Amino acid sequence: MDLLSLTWDYLTTADSWTAPGGILERLVEQLLLTVTALVVACALALPAALWLGHLGRGGFLAINVSNVGRAVPTFALLALLVTAPWPGVSSFGPYGRAGLATLIALVLFALPPLITNAYTAVREVPADVREAADGMGMSGWQRFRRVELPLALPLVLSGVRLALVQIWATATIAALVAGPGMGRIVVDGFARDLYSQGVGAALVVALAALVLEVTAALVQRWADPVPREARTGG
């Protein structure tokens, strides 16, 4: 049988999904890693970036933090974290072996798109809209909350969407330090010459990334306060 047929057999066999260490278990582990890293990254990045955008300060810092974050390979960072005395390779609750190191690496990886998009989103609110808000007697906080933030939200969510998909795809590297997630199935499959297992798991990761991307795009569109037709004049 060729690889395609073997991969199809692997994906359509119930034990591949439900057995201990199977696809469903590893999907849940990777989803937990992804959601946790995204929530922590958003909590760290968005408040500061949004407020700096409102103040019109810190642009140089925001852009350069993002550039540095993009320049550091996530796997290299993970390798440094697991070899350090802390956090090392110790198990971390439901995140498993090297769980804390993996989470830190993924959070740092997610910061650049979140910071850049959030800061840029607020700065790109039209000046005449800000002036109109000031003319209505709004305080700085009111202008930010009632005018700038709603208009900036689609671009902010675009950064969250990008970070979500990037974290999901990158979380597979946890397997390289025996961490949780779908990468375990991929690595084990290729290490044991079970190429159908490795390819099948990789396809599941890709399909899940597509589902996350489409879902996030729908949420982003729903949150846009300005209809698409109004933007294009249609």
Q: Is the pLDDT of residue 232 over 50?
A: no
36 vs 90, more confident: 36
For residue 4, the surrounding DSSP H or E stretch is helix 3-11
Q: Say what the pLDDT of residue 1 is.
A: 61
Query: Residue 164 and residue 85: Cα distance in Å, rounded?
Result: 29
**Domains in the chain with CATH codes:** 3-232 (1.10.3720.10)
For residue 110, the surrounding DSSP H or E stretch is helix 99-123
| Contact assessment for residue 37 and residue 103, using Cβ atoms and an 8 Å cutoff | yes
The pLDDT mean for the chain works out to 88
In this structure, what are the phi and psi dihedrals at residue 91, rounded to the nearest 5 degrees?
Answer: -70, 150
Q: Say what the pLDDT of residue 73 is.
A: 83
Mean pLDDT across 160-164: 95
* Percentage of residues in the chain having pLDDT higher than 70: 91
Identify the weakest region by mean pLDDT among 68-77, 92-101, 122-131.
Answer: 68-77
Q: Say what the pLDDT of residue 224 is.
A: 75
Query: Residue 163 and residue 152: Cα distance in Å, rounded?
Result: 17
Instruction: Output the CA torsion 219→223→226→232 (10° steps).
Output: -10
Closest CA to 181 of 69, 7, 37: 37
Q: Is the pLDDT of residue 228 over 60?
A: no
